[in-house]
Chains A and B, each alone.
Chain A
Amino acid sequence: MATAEGQQHPIGVYLWIWGLLFVLSLFSYLVDYFHLEGMLRWSLILLFMMLKAGFIVAIFMHMKWERLALIYAILLPPVLVMVFVALMVLESDYTHWARETYFVFGA
């Protein structure tokens, strides 16, 4: 837990996470190296990405040991970015459709 002098944890925790991040990075590189395609590729890339991001934030950045007031203030707003993502997916789908319709066939 947070003590009177900031965040202090055993060195071993950091070494473990360090090793884990190396292994996860290697896995995500191998996804490309072995030319995995389709749903398998996207799901593995996203899985390794989220695991790495989670370990960095939770352990290296000590979020796991902070109080909920800080955790929610920092981690909840980025979730709202997903709304933005959804909007832009709709928008770019429409742009793509318009280009296909008017640039290629409509000439």
Chain B
Amino acid sequence: MAKSATKSVALAPGMEGFVSDWSSDQRVFKNVPWGKAMMWLFLLSDTFIFSCFLLSYMSVRSSTLEPWPNASKVFALHIGGQDVPLILIAIMTFVLISSSGTMAMAVNFGYRRNRKVTTYLILATALFGAMFVGMQAFEWTKLISEGVRPWGNPWGAPQFGSTFFMITGFHGFHVSIGVIFLLIVARKVWRGDYDTGRRGYFTTMKGNYEIVETMGLYWHFVDLVWVFIFAFFYLW
């Protein structure tokens, strides 16, 4: 973009800046591109959606009279003659954190205008994301074959299945959409769209490397949501 959205102007710091930003003309969010501010607002609304899911899970779990299935045993894998508790979930967690790491580095190399490394890092992020979805598909298949359904399961409270499929399903959907958009952004970086100012197919707008950071925000959010699902659903 010829005119960067983040041009430097003298802005008051701290609380004084908070008040002057919110009472100023034209725009509240200074020094951030509009796309980034809008992505943050979208993520805030997404936070509310996942909050509602986790809250409904908490409500049904604490109000049911039947025992809740023990996640540590339900999600154990039989490896080398013994059951290792939660091992698949732990691996999925590490894979997602790794993808967050490569994404953060991709943003960094993007601003350094290192197209090649940025592309590879975004592709690595997409690969980790695809691995995560693959392992989730494996986990779903295993649980479904063991008789877990949204209306019941062999181990206890029937609500286990409905909350499990809803929460992990919605999260997995987010990861899948993220992988698709990562591939699109990787292609654009590789082709040099953000250096030559090539216009986007849908938006007809010129992009720049701030888009990689905005994409990164979405991806880190997916990782962030998993932190809460891991704690509340699998460990609790």
Q: Which residues of A contact B (CB under 8 A)?
A: 2-9, 11, 14-15, 17-18, 21-22, 25, 28-29, 31-33, 35, 42, 45-46, 48-49, 52-53, 56-57, 59-62, 66-70, 72-74, 77-78, 81, 84-85, 88-89, 91-93, 95-96, 99-100, 103-104
Contact = CB atoms under 8 A, between A and B. Distances in A.
A54 B59 CA distance: 26
Interface size grouping (class) on chain B: 35 or more
28 contacts: A3-B6, A4-B8, A6-B6, A6-B210, A14-B108, A18-B100, A25-B93, A28-B230, A32-B234, A32-B235, A45-B235, A49-B228, A53-B227, A56-B224, A60-B103, A67-B11, A67-B32, A68-B18, A70-B29, A73-B28, A74-B43, A81-B55, A92-B58, A92-B62, A92-B63, A93-B62, A99-B63, A103-B65
Contacts of B94: 22, 25
Interface in B205-235: 209-210, 213, 216-217, 220-221, 223-224, 227-228, 230-231, 234-235
Contact of A29 (B15, B40, B93, B213): B93
B7 interface: yes
A72 B64 CA distance: 37
Contact of A45 (B47, B64, B223, B231): B231
B44 A78 contact: yes
Contact of A91 (B43, B48, B59): B59
Nearest to B113: A5
B231 A11 contact: no
B231 A74 contact: no
A78 B44 CA distance: 8
A44 to B, nearest CB: 9
Nearest 3 CB-CB pairings of A with B: A69-B21, A18-B101, A95-B63
A29 B86 contact: yes
Contact of B213 (A7, A35, A67): A7
Contacts, number: 174
B235 A68 contact: no
B108 A11 contact: yes
B97 interface: yes
A89 B236 CA distance: 16
Interface string B4-17: 10111001001101
Contacts of A100: 65
Contacts of A59: 104
A100 B213 CA distance: 52
Interface string B88-117: 001001100110110111011001100000
Nearest to A103: B65
A53 B209 contact: no
Interface centre among B33, B63, B223, by most chain A C-beta atoms within 10 angstroms, is: B63
B220 to A, nearest CB: 5
